[in-house]
Amino acid sequence: MSDEKTILSIQSFVTHGYVGNKAATFPLQLHGFDVDGINTVSLSNHSGYPIIRGHRMDLQEYETIMEGIRANNFLPSYRYILTGYINNADIVRKIRDTVDEVRKLREKEGKKLTFICDPVMGDDGIMYCKEEVLQAYRELLTFADFATPNYYEASLLSGIDVTDMKTALQAADWFHKQGTKGVVIKSFRTKEDPQKLQFLFSTVAAGGNAPQRFTGVVPYHEGRYTGTGDVFAALLLAFSHQQPMEVAVGKVMAALQELILATRKEGGDGASSLMSRELRVTRAVQSLLNPTTVVEVKPM
Ligand code: ADP
Ligand code: CA
Ligand code: CA
Query: Which of 189, 197, 263 to mutate for ligand 1's pocket (most ligand atoms within 8 Å of CB)?
Result: 197
Mean pLDDT of 221-241: 97
Residue ranges and CATH numbers for the domains of the chain are 6-299 (3.40.1190.20)
Ligand with minimal distance to 218 CA: 1
Ligand 1 residue neighbourhood (C-beta within 6 Å):
123, 150, 186-187, 197, 199, 218, 220-221, 223, 225, 228-229, 232, 253, 256, 260
Quote the ligand 1 centre to 151 CA distance (angstroms): 10
Catalytic residues: 230
Query: Which positions ≥6 away from 270 have C-beta within 8 Å?
Result: 221, 222, 223, 224
What is the pLDDT, as a whole number, of residue 207?
Answer: 62
What is the pLDDT, as a whole number, of residue 173?
Answer: 97
Ligand with minimal distance to 124 CA: 2
Bigger pLDDT: 278 vs 2? 278
Mean pLDDT of 152-176: 98
What is the pLDDT, as a whole number, of residue 199?
Answer: 98
| pLDDT tens per residue across span 22-45 | 999 999 999 999 999 999 999 999
Model confidence, pTM: 0.97
Cα(66)–Cα(3) distance, rounded to whole angstroms? 25
Q: How many helices (H) and strands (E) does the chain have?
A: 9, 12
What is the pLDDT, as a whole number, of residue 205?
Answer: 72
Indicate the pLDDT class of residue 161, thresholds 50, 70 and 90. very high
Which protein residues have their CB within 5 A of the ion that is ligand 3? 120, 229
User: From the CB of residue 245, how many other CB atoms can be counted at a distance below 10 Å?
Assistant: 19
Strand 6-14 with 34-43, pairing: parallel
Quote the ligand 1 centre to 224 CA distance (angstroms): 8
| pLDDT tens per residue across span 169-181 | 999 999 999 999 9
| pLDDT tens per residue across span 78-133 | 999 999 999 999 999 999 999 999 999 999 999 999 999 999 999 999 998 999 99
Mean pLDDT of 191-220: 91
Ligand with minimal distance to 226 CA: 1
Over 80: is that where the pLDDT of 1 sits?
no
Mean pLDDT of 139-144: 97
Indicate the pLDDT class of residue 2, thresholds 50, 70 and 90. low
| pLDDT tens per residue across span 190-201 | 999 999 999 999
Strand 196-203 with 298-299, pairing: unpaired
The atom number, within ligand 1, closest to the CA of 184 reads 14
| Nearest CA, atom 17, ligand 1 | 256
Cα(113)–Cα(111) distance, rounded to whole angstroms? 7
Query: Which of 156, 228, 239, 256 to mutate for ligand 1's pocket (most ligand atoms within 8 Å of CB)?
Result: 228
Bigger pLDDT: 1 vs 262? 262
| Nearest CA, atom 14, ligand 1 | 186
Quote the ligand 1 centre to 109 CA distance (angstroms): 38
What is the pLDDT, as a whole number, of residue 181?
Answer: 96
Across 109-195, where does the E strand assignment appear? 114-117, 122-123, 126-127, 146-147, 182-188
* pLDDT over 70, % of the chain: 98
Quote the ligand 1 centre to 229 CA distance (angstroms): 6
Over 90: is that where the pLDDT of 5 sits?
yes
Over 90: is that where the pLDDT of 209 sits?
no
ipTM: 0.97
Cα separation of the two ends of the chain: 35
> What CA–CA distances, in Å, run from 225 to 86, 163, 192, 261, 291?
19, 20, 23, 11, 19
- Mean pLDDT in the chain? 96
| Nearest CA, atom 23, ligand 1 | 221
Quote the ligand 3 centre to 44 CA distance (angstroms): 18
Query: Which positions ≥6 away from 210 have C-beta within 8 Å?
Result: none
